[in-house]
A = this chain, B = another copy of it.
Amino acid sequence: SFPPGVLTLCRQVPAWGTAARQPPSLPLTPCRAFSNNRIQVELDESSGVATMKFKSPPVNSLSLDFLTEFCISLEKLENDRACRGVIFTSAVPKIFSSGLDITEMCGKSTEHYSEFWRAVQEMWLRVYGSNMVTVAAINGSSPAGGCLVALSCDYRIMVNNPKFSIGLNEAQLGIVAPFWFKDTFVNTVGHRVAECSLQLGSLHPAPKAHELGLVDELVPEEKLQEKAVAVMAQWLALPDHARQLTKSMMRKAVLDRLVANREEDVQNFVNFVSKESIQKSLRMYMEMLKKKKS
């Protein structure tokens, strides 16, 4: 039931990981509910809506293991005809996802950096290009890579709590968001808001994020699940085929840009993160986080 154009797009996306690290071959029987270590997945067969709940305390950081599990789970749902939409949310209080796991970018081998970055790319390609309706139910803060997950969905609902913030704050850490983070951001909030927010590394409190168009709707925390289900129902009321082709038309240019430059982008990341000045920045940032905790 997937339209040929969109399938072609997805097939252009190289299979996950490297030859040495293939995901396990997928079961042919449709999934109904499964839980691995870091993400709990439930599929409501009556509505065709799955929920992927991040439960990787303390902050749902996007480690290589998390990303691997994320991509495998999402691919299972993508290939399951009973599933038409997926809601992303968090099982960890106050945090949606803290973004890329900095420990994966610090003091590791260049091979490790490459593998990690390919997993980040894969995650984005799969969410931004998903044939399913994707809704982010953002029940906590969502900086950097966490914000990217939300931006890659079709719709963003955030808990109306000014203590929860969201944004691409890479510049605060002395690093630079890659061009496809930027492209996704510009497609959502426009060039000017993106330019300003990216340079300042802004983390916007929920109300400001809503005002800027970074999230589509604010709700009280106790209404979040209900609202996500209602929004999903509204999107699923449309015929899949037309909706998927329309989504592909809107997002294809930006997806294709990474697909065409994927290895170059890996190389850029590896070169950048391998610099001693960047390693130093990241170590300082981790020290600061540790001090904050204690």
**A residues 195-214 touching B (CB-CB < 8 Å):** 195-196, 198-201, 213
Tell me, yes or no, whether A279 is within 8 Å of chain B by CB.
no
Q: With contacts A182-B249, A187-B192, A245-B176 known, is A199 near B239, CB below 8 A?
A: no
- Pairwise interchain contact B174-A241, C-beta atoms closer than 8 A: yes
CB contacts (< 8 Å) of A289 on chain B: these are: none
CB-contact partner of A243 in B155, B199, B277, under 8 A: B199
Among A226-246, those with CB < 8 Å from B are 234-235, 238-239, 241-243, 245-246
Q: A247: CB under 8 A from chain B?
A: yes
Does A33 lie at the interface of the complex (its beta carbon under 8 Å from any beta carbon of B)?
no
A69 contacts the other chain (CB 8 A): no
Known contacts: A238-B200, A242-B176, A245-B176. The answer to whether A250 contacts B171 by CB under 8 A is no
Distance, CA A182 to CA B253, complexed state (A): 13
Q: A188-B192, A213-B192 are in contact. Are A172 and B250 (CB under 8 A)?
A: no
Q: Are the CB atoms of A246 and B198 closer together than 8 Å?
A: yes
Q: Chain B contacts of A201 at CB under 8 A? A: 238, 242
Q: Are A199 and B238 in contact (CB under 8 A)?
A: yes
* Cα distance, A46 to B199, chains bound together (Å): 23
Given that A196-B155, A199-B243 are known contacts, is A250 also in contact with B177, CB under 8 Å in the complex? no
Known: A192-B189, A239-B171. Is A177-B213 also a contact (CB below 8 A)?
Answer: no
> Is there contact, CB below 8 Å, between B191 and A187?
yes
- Alpha-carbon separation in the docked complex, A198 to B243 (Å): 8
CB-CB < 8 A to A179: which residues of B? 249
Per a CB cutoff under 8 Å, which of B174, B195, B243, B250 touches A187? B195
Considering the chains assembled together, what is the distance between the CA atoms of A262 and B189 in angstroms? 31
B-chain residues with CB within 8 Å of residue A245 when the two chains form the complex: 176
Greatest chain B CB density within 10 A among A154, A176, A196, A238 is at: A176
* Chain B proximity of A191: nearest CB distance (Å): 5
- Report the separation of the CA atoms of residues A186 and B246 in the bound assembly, to the nearest whole angstrom: 13
Cβ–Cβ < 8 Å partners of A246 in chain B = 170-171, 176-177, 198-199
23 CB contacts below 8 A, A to B, read A155-B196, A170-B242, A171-B238, A171-B242, A174-B239, A174-B242, A176-B242, A176-B246, A179-B249, A182-B250, A186-B191, A187-B191, A188-B191, A190-B190, A190-B192, A195-B247, A195-B251, A198-B246, A198-B250, A199-B235, A199-B250, A201-B238, A201-B242
Residues of A whose CB lies within 8 Å of any CB of B are 154-155, 170-177, 179, 182, 186-192, 194-196, 198-201, 213, 216, 234-235, 238-239, 241-243, 245-247, 249-251, 277, 281
Pairs of residues from A and B, 9 with the lowest C-beta to C-beta distance, nearest first: A174-B239, A171-B242, A195-B250, A176-B245, A187-B191, A174-B242, A198-B246, A199-B246, A199-B243
